[in-house]
Amino acid sequence: MKKNVAIIGYGGQGAWHANQIIKSDVVALSGVYDIKPERIELARSRGIFTYPSAEELLSDKNVDIVVITTPNDSHKELSIKALNAGKNVICEKPVMLNTSDLAEVIKVSNQTGKLFTAHQNRRYDVDFLAIKQLIQEGKLGDVVSVESRVHGSRGIPSDWRGKKEYGGGMLYDWGVHLIDQITQLLPNEELKKVFCTAQHTTNFEVDDGFKLTLIYKSGITAFVEVGTLNYIAMPRFYLQCKRGSAKINDWKQNAEVAYCKYWNEKEVLPVQTAAGITKTMAPRDEITLDTYNLDIPVSDVHDFYRNFVLAIDGKEKQYVTHEQSMFVLKIIEKAFESIEKCQAVDFD
Ligand code: NAD
């Protein structure tokens, strides 16, 4: 039987969840609540049941799961209320604003015996899954570095995302997705140092972009960049391994892969540059290098709800664990510390 879901916050992301839940094979939509009358009206016009208050939503005995899709600063209070009301909770990212708030919420989850998870839906992005596949296959050899970027050119949105009191800023907004992806790509690597710089090109209250370097004990580096003032976007992903490289230009494009068949070349033809020739930077030929496109992986965002339902029934481990959410928030805390000190900081 399907589990019933109610949504608190029927904005952009609340409506996204509602649309998915209506199509789901494992969950059904009981209704939504929003503090804005116009959003309530919109939900009703779409045939969705609306609750008169968050309290009435939480006291609906038929509701098994509450999805929290309000601005970031309200996640903690609403999550604790929902858990104490006996509901399992899917909370939007960033799941909390810091690790101590998350620790409090995990404590309530353990006390009530109700599950709590972060909605890390970008683990289902096909560009990320392609890079994950390449690393897991191992054909390209040991990872040297991973670069992950998202670039826009319209500045930070003018809504709550631009305001500190609501938990705005790009580290909390896109950063939390991209950092989570990196930790999924390099699950066994121990983090040593964190270095981050923030941009304030269109907003001075919160970061409207950042550049984050993660330095692992093994020497691997990961670079995460979010920009909102980039009129030319850099590739979404760039993977550098000892025997190959891969690049994904945009959200849904194939990964371009280059695999080095033979390291040694008999003869390297120098390449002409503006001010002279170079052998070091001369491109390889097809005798030593295989180039191909990786097929776009298959992905289904409904797997997130499927997993959560099975986790509630004790049949699967929840896909986004508390440890993972803690780790990502700790990296964000270290990134803020690094921005403040203008230097690399130890992770431990
Ligand atoms: P939004 O501004 O479009 O919607 C937020 C809604 O919450 C608004 O309609 C607002 O009236 C309502 N709201 C505010 N406080 C409330 C309260 N106390 N009770 C009930 N309703 C309340 O914002 P959004 O883009 O939908 O973002 C909401 C959350 O979803 C944020 O945490 C954001 O980071 C997250 N989000 C996640 C993704 C994703 O891909 N996972 C994408 C977008 C947003």
For the chain, the structural domain boundaries read: 3-119, 123-299+330-346
C-alpha distance from residue 33 to each of 89, 116, 130, 147, 211 (Å): 15, 19, 37, 39, 36
pLDDT along the chain (348 residues), means of 10: 98 98 98 98 98 98 98 98 98 98 98 98 97 98 98 95 98 98 98 98 96 98 98 98 97 92 88 94 93 95 98 98 98 98 97
CB atoms within 10 A of CB 44: 13
CB of 284 closer than 8 Å to CB of 260: yes
Where does residue 18 rank: exposed (0-12), middle (13-18), buried (19+ CB within 10 A)?
buried
Length of the chain: 348
For position 252, what pLDDT does the model report?
A: 79
Q: Ligand 1 within 6 A of 69 CB?
A: yes
For position 267, what pLDDT does the model report?
A: 84
Q: Ligand 1 within 6 A of 91 CB?
A: no
Among 220, 209, 200, 95, smallest CA distance to 149 is for 209
CB of 118 closer than 8 Å to CB of 298: no
For position 265, what pLDDT does the model report?
A: 81
For position 147, what pLDDT does the model report?
A: 98
For position 194, what pLDDT does the model report?
A: 98
Give the burial string for 108-147 (b: 16+ CB within 10 Å, else e).
Answer: bbeebebbbbbbbbbbbbbbbbbbbebbeeeebeebebbb
For position 103, what pLDDT does the model report?
A: 98
E-strand stretches of 114-186: 116-118, 143-151
Q: How far is the CA of 130 from the centre of ligand 1 (A)?
A: 29
The pick from 50, 69, 75 for probing ligand 1's pocket by mutation, whose C-beta has the most ligand atoms within 8 angstroms, reads 69
- pTM value is 0.97
Which letter does DSSP use for residue 342 in this model? Answer: T
For position 209, what pLDDT does the model report?
A: 98
**Yes or no: is domain 3-119 CATH 3.40.50.720?**
yes
Superfamily of domain 123-299+330-346: Dihydrodipicolinate Reductase; domain 2 (3.30.360.10)
**Atom 38 of ligand 1, residue of closest alpha carbon:** 13
Classified as helix, coil or strand, 257 is: strand
CB of 328 closer than 8 Å to CB of 177: no
